[in-house]
Structure 1
Amino acid sequence: MARAAGAPLTELPGTALRIVRVCGTVLGYAVAFGPGALGARLRRRPWERAGACLTALLTSLGPSYIKIGQLLSTRRDLLPERVCAELGRLADATPPPRRAVLERAVRGAYRGHTWPFAEFGWTPVATGSISTVHFAVTLDGRRVAVKVRRPGISRVMRRDFRLVALAMGALQRLPRLRSMPFTVMHAQVGGAILRQLDFTAERTALGSLHANLREFPWIRIPAPLPDLCAEDVLVMEYVEGLARTAPESFCADARRAASRRVMSAVYEMLFVDGLVHCDLHPGNLYIEGNGSLVILDAGFVIKLSDPVRATFGDFFINMAMGNGPLCAEIIIESAASIADGCDLGGFRAELAGLVTETAGVVSKEFSLAKFAGRLFDIQRRFGVYPVPEFAFPLLSLLVVEGIVQGLDPELDFQAAAMPVLRRRNMPRVSVGS
């Protein structure tokens, strides 16, 4: 087995063991559930058990794979409703650690300091793949939420990171894929996922999001309380009365208003602040009865560089206007690499056709996942590879797209971005070329 980039020699046995466990778990589920899945397919009910089986498999594989399931749970346009409903349980249904393990971790975080809580609820109010969240009351009477990193989770996720690095390195060696920046993509995207383990960085991101979006009275983001935080513990304001509300619980007007507020918040992050929440699945984004939004968990928040933010804004506004030729030029100019002998004329023509085809399409007829898939296919075939940072703004939109489509199928995603785009530095726009 080749050594994973950056993996200490002492960690290789642990990585090898993790590979065995992952492969063994997948094989075990295939043996246990394969016959039932085949029978369901023969009965023309292939999705009846698929969601439950997939959810159980991802839960067994661990946090890195649960994150994938959380993303997939929002994609009702791509997966059957029954599968998405089961995957949605991954948002907060991961079993918590035993109380003794949690208590040892939390009390250990404050070792050498005064215990800061008058009350602490050891039963989590929310349970995620990387952490649990608890209600507490401080010594001075403040009601707070305490996010606790799961003991041992860092070691598991870092081994998964190295496992994927090995796979990416192998793909990079295939003759047809040598020009694709797999290893760079893994370092940047995978590195961003690993940063969810860094509660100091999350505390900073949470404070920045809170400050950036404070002008919107309909957005609530809990502020961190730095004086109470520790390395493995993040303490923040407690948001009262959080409850997940199904879209059908709102009237049509309220659903439309909520969908526009969700997209306005995301576009503000993308095009104005450049600080992007990439994990707004239903466990981190709540819509309250009065239409207000509550945004939680800043673990997967990415700061876009100014060039990437500006380029993505340029591409998006020209996509909204149906200006395919300029969209092609923007991608060519910002590409991380272009294959030798690339047919740039053919690339321009195909991309222009894709943009023209999707301009002005409403939510129920437009799938960003399918658009991105076709875009990446065109780039792959012509050998025009984007900078890996472009994955983050696309990911933030992909996660919320499923939620917004459930709220308002008539929303024009592209038109909804125009008011925000006009408030930022005016992007490069031209007619044709």
Structure 2
Amino acid sequence: MTSRRQLWSAVRLAARQFSDRAAVAAGNGPSTSYGLIASHGAGLLRSTFLASASARAGLPRQRHISRALRRETEAFLRQCRGFKTAALGSGVGVTQSGQSLFTALLPPALLWLLMVFPSSYRSFAFRLLGLDVSARSALGDTLAADDAPDGAAGAGGGAAAGAAAWLIRRLHLQPLIDELLLAARATYLCFLFLPALLTAPLMSLLGGLGRERWLRLVQWTLEHAGPAFIKWGQWASTRPDLFPEDLCEHLEQLQTSAPAHSPAASVAAVERAFAAPLSELFDDFDARPVASGSIAQIHRATLSERGAALVGGGAEPGACVAVKVRHPGVSELMHRDFILMQRAAAAASRLPALRELRLEESIRQFGGPLKEQLDLGVEASHLQRFNANFRSWSNVRFPVPLYPLVGPDVLVESFEDGDLIMGYVRSPHRHNAMLAQTGVDVFLTMMLRDNFIHADLHPGNIIVRPADPPSPLVAAAAQWPWLPDRIRSWLTDRSPQIVLLDTGMIVELSGRDQAALMGFFRALTRMDGRGLAAEIVNMSVDGKCKDPAAFAAELDSLFRNMDREYLRRESQSVIRDLIERMRQHQVTLRSSVSTVVVTSLVLEGWSSQLDPDVRILDTMRDMLASDWGERIGLAVDRVVGSGQLLEG
């Protein structure tokens, strides 16, 4: 009888874990009507799983199963009745409520049916009853703690969780569960994007108001689609040359207003990461996030005396800090989305019309750098290195990580206040030209001198703040009455600082890639089409091209008919044209090189909006005009301040 009690405890916990995963499979939280329905639906799914699994395992019928099943069913139906039938009928295609209801009902229903009916798994449940004594003992008496009231399980919860996972493995349910959750995610995404896709052709007929509503729907859809899609929206918002201006304006909000998780989840994550109550680490913790991104959200907090003691000299008691907390379940969600993207790309690649797009390679290159952002401890190490690289720059700052308050799920760092750089893009400012040139200088320094490149330089990750006040000596000197106004202005009117955030995604080039990339930019600035073709092939995945001679001739013809001023003014269009010709000739750049090229395009996008006279190719031409091996010149000194451009 004891073994059945242990087995029953494991079945209960397995059901609870399964339903919890099902509740977040679609990627939403419980703050919306959809979340309430999904929560009750998960409870209903848990009770159904409980009844089915216990029956398959040969356990006696538990009376409270029927009560739980009835209670969850009533709660689920009661929540569903909160939506009017008319709203469902008229709003599935165009309203968020109808869309939420549809996407909430279908995945739980699908999971429920598939979980109840597959009889092929019944034999595994009965085989479980034939466990030997040592296997039963491995479950341990701690499993019985799960039968205790909530909160009474204590340390046994960890062992129970392990036993539940073991039970799922023993029943060979994990592949089925993974596929069911993947199916739920795919179903959710299909219905999520369906309204925007179906109504897109009608936008030209609905006028300005209809288009505005559709753009809000697109923004809302990407917000609820998950981190991978939010990242795409952030990138698209920086490309007015590719997308309509009004769409870019809506997608800009994804840079700082991605969906946030609950304050309770943040508190639990902090206490779990540092094994201490929140009140011991911080005197004040703002439950409302300052900003929320696709991977994590940031809370403002005030460091306590104990917290300051932990970080040593990194901060004083009462210092304002930023607490970056990773969204719950974001790793699973990201992994699931990439599986779906890979499967969709593989299916699309079977079509002759889409085969040349090489979607599978594109997804692989997109996913690699993005996965680095999931570990906040990695971001902290990146911050340390960036701070060391730019320690002599007075107008460039990075947040400072406060060790040991650093972990994969939570990162505590200095709080950096300021205004998003897009505010300067929208309105003219006397420092715009200086900000644009600083952005270009920083990127080229990362690429040429340090070989450690911030690969996510969209405007949402860049803030601007006033410069540090001059030292007392400089301030006193500026008050001298005989000092010329020009010198006084130079002493006191310091340029603002730019602060670069979100350093989770970086690129380090191999020596071969670095040399090839420099050759690429040198050939581009010299408008050498054949040399450019050779460098592009050197940077490709396999070093091959479908027809190298035709590719070189095409690029030679392209630049032969182009004047230098057009290249300077329309560098983004020229590089896009190059990428299109690479696609036509089936030349795929290596992932690290491709990331640097795309980052340079993003940088060029917002820096040229700040000041049309600041162009990255102008600075590159000045830097690379002399022989590469010399690395010396006035242009180099202007960009990197001092020191060599490239080691070795």
- TM-score normalised by L of structure 1: 0.86
The one-letter code of the counterpart of 2:235 is L
In 2, distance between residues paired with 1:379 and 1:34? Answer: 30
Q: CA deviation at 1:182?
A: 4.6
Q: Do 1:180 and 1:385's aligned partners in 2 also have CA atoms closer than 8 Å?
A: no
In 1, distance between residues paired with 2:351 and 2:592? Answer: 24
Of 531, 541, 544, which residue of structure 2 is paired with 1:326? 531
Q: CA deviation at 1:230?
A: 2.2
Q: Do 1:206 and 1:298's aligned partners in 2 also have CA atoms closer than 8 Å?
A: yes
Q: Do 2:568 and 2:618's aligned partners in 1 also have CA atoms closer than 8 Å?
A: no
Name the SS for the 2:431 alignment partner: helix
- Structure 1 gaps of 5+ residues are 1-7, 429-433
* Larger CA Rg, structure 1 vs 2: 2
Q: 1:364 to 1:13 in 2, by over 3 A?
A: farther
Q: Do 1:219 and 1:294's aligned partners in 2 also have CA atoms closer than 8 Å?
A: yes
Matches within 5 A, 1:71-110: 71-110=235-274
Identify which of structures 1 and 2 has the higher relative contact order when contacts are C-alpha pairs closer than 8 Å and 6+ apart.
1
Q: Which residue of 1 aligns with 2:458?
A: 281
Larger helix percent: 2
CA offsets 1:359-379 (integer angstroms, 9 cap, x no match): 7447983152x3333222222
Q: Do 2:237 and 2:251's aligned partners in 1 also have CA atoms closer than 8 Å?
A: yes
1:352 partnered with 2:556: yes
Matches within 5 A, 1:391-402: 391-402=594-605
Q: Do 2:529 and 2:557's aligned partners in 1 also have CA atoms closer than 8 Å?
A: yes
Q: 1:176 to 1:56 in 2, by over 3 A?
A: closer
The one-letter code of the counterpart of 1:372 is I
Name the SS for the 2:347 alignment partner: helix
Greater CA deviation, 131-140 or 411-420? Answer: 411-420
1:14 partnered with 2:176: no
1:37 partnered with 2:203: yes
CA offsets 1:22-69 (integer angstroms, 9 cap, x no match): 1111113445x45862523xx488854443232111112121111111
Q: Do 1:260 and 1:416's aligned partners in 2 also have CA atoms closer than 8 Å?
A: no
In 2, distance between residues paired with 1:409 and 1:203? Answer: 34
Q: 1:51 to 1:401 in 2, by over 3 A?
A: farther
Q: Which residue of 2 aligns with 1:431?
A: none
Matches within 5 A, 1:417-428: 417-421=620-624, 426=629
1:374 partnered with 2:577: yes
Q: Which residue of 2 aligns with 1:127?
A: 292
In 1, distance between residues paired with 2:406 and 2:375? Answer: 12
Name the SS for the 1:235 alignment partner: strand
Q: Which residue of 2 aligns with 1:144?
A: 321
CA offsets 1:380-425 (integer angstroms, 9 cap, x no match): 3233333232221012112222211211123332112245557995
- Structure 2 gaps of 5+ residues are 1-173, 309-316, 467-494, 632-648
Q: 1:157 to 1:238 in 2, by over 3 A?
A: same
Q: Which residue of 1 aligns with 2:424?
A: 246
CA offsets 1:231-277 (integer angstroms, 9 cap, x no match): 200111122344553335443x5222211111111111222222221
Matches within 5 A, 1:191-206: 191-206=368-383
In 2, distance between residues paired with 1:159 and 1:427? Answer: 49
Q: Do 1:318 and 1:324's aligned partners in 2 also have CA atoms closer than 8 Å?
A: yes
Q: Do 1:165 and 1:183's aligned partners in 2 also have CA atoms closer than 8 Å?
A: yes
Q: 1:358 to 1:16 in 2, by over 3 A?
A: farther
1:259 partnered with 2:425: no
In 1, distance between residues paired with 2:230 and 2:516? Answer: 31
1:403 partnered with 2:627: no
1:313 partnered with 2:518: yes
Q: Which residue of 2 aligns with 1:25?
A: 192
The number of aligned residues is 415
Q: CA deviation at 1:347?
A: 0.8
- TM-score normalised by L of structure 2: 0.59
Name the SS for the 1:385 alignment partner: coil
Q: Do 1:136 and 1:145's aligned partners in 2 also have CA atoms closer than 8 Å?
A: yes
Name the SS for the 1:145 alignment partner: strand
Identity of aligned residues (%): 29
In 2, distance between residues paired with 1:113 and 1:64? Answer: 33
Q: CA deviation at 1:306?
A: 2.5
Q: Do 1:120 and 1:135's aligned partners in 2 also have CA atoms closer than 8 Å?
A: yes
CA offsets 1:94-137 (integer angstroms, 9 cap, x no match): 23212222222222222268842232222111111211111122
The one-letter code of the counterpart of 2:593 is F
1:157 partnered with 2:334: yes
Q: Do 2:567 and 2:574's aligned partners in 1 also have CA atoms closer than 8 Å?
A: no
Q: Which residue of 2 aligns with 1:412?
A: 615
Q: Which residue of 1 aligns with 2:219?
A: 55
Of 231, 234, 239, which residue of structure 2 is paired with 1:67? 231
Q: Do 2:568 and 2:617's aligned partners in 1 also have CA atoms closer than 8 Å?
A: no
The one-letter code of the counterpart of 2:203 is A
Q: CA deviation at 1:351?
A: 1.5
Q: Which residue of 2 aligns with 1:365?
A: 569
Q: 1:212 to 1:75 in 2, by over 3 A?
A: same
The one-letter code of the counterpart of 1:198 is D
Of 139, 151, 166, which residue of structure 1 is paired with 2:343? 166
Q: Do 2:418 and 2:463's aligned partners in 1 also have CA atoms closer than 8 Å?
A: no
